[in-house]
Amino acid sequence: MLPTPYLIFLVEGCASQEQTPYWLRVYTFALFIIGPLILNTIFNSLIFIMVRASTRRVAHAVATTTTTGSITKMNHSCNTRDLRLIKHMLFIFFVNIFGWGPAACILLLNVDDGVILTVSQYVRLPPLISSFIVVIDLFVYNRDLTKYLKEKFFRYLHIK
């Protein structure tokens, strides 16, 4: 359903006769930048709300069972956990925006074909780097997967 405007534009035969219309470039920009930006914000907000509620629930359970000295230490570690989550979410968010943003902006701008061919050579690199960083980040922050891969790797090399 998302590429429908492109299909209509190509079927009408307009693609060979004229340049891509401005509304189609705005549609592409919204599809690649604005849409994921909104979805990422919504999902990250929901995740943070759930983590924050969990932090408060754990802090309340600790407060009822321990002394006052332990409570402040537990609240400090939970706040650190929440801050690290926010920093990680913002890092992934900016990696995606700065990775895919230039490519979408080039599509949005009305630039002649010679410049597009030259610039497109360089604009292809940030989305690749962005995707690579996100995949590496998934491997690094998923402790179960990291542990599993280490075990498989060491077993393959016959190292204990």
pLDDT tens-place string over residues 89-147: 999 999 988 998 888 787 777 665 566 667 777 788 888 999 999 999 988 888 898 88
Looking at the whole model, is its pTM more than 0.85? no
Confidence grade of residue 58 (pLDDT, cut at 50, 70, 90): confident
Decide if 135 contacts 103 (C-beta within 8 A).
Answer: no
For residue 100, give the nearest of 2, 26, 29 by alpha carbon: 29
Does pLDDT of 72 surpass 60? no
- Print the domain residue range for 35: 4-156
pLDDT (average), residues 60-87? 68
Long-range interactions of 20-29: CB distance < 8 A, separation 24+: 22/110, 25/107, 25/108, 25/110, 26/108, 28/104, 28/107, 28/108, 29/104, 29/105, 29/107, 29/108
With a CB cutoff of 8 Å and minimum separation 6, the contacts of 82 are 48, 51, 52, 55
- Tell me the pLDDT tens digit for each residue of 22-56: 777 788 788 878 888 899 899 999 998 998 888 88
What total number of domains does the chain contain? 1
Question: How far is residue 160's CA from residue 151's CA, in Å, rounded to a whole number?
Answer: 9
Tell me the two tokens of residue 67: 């002394």
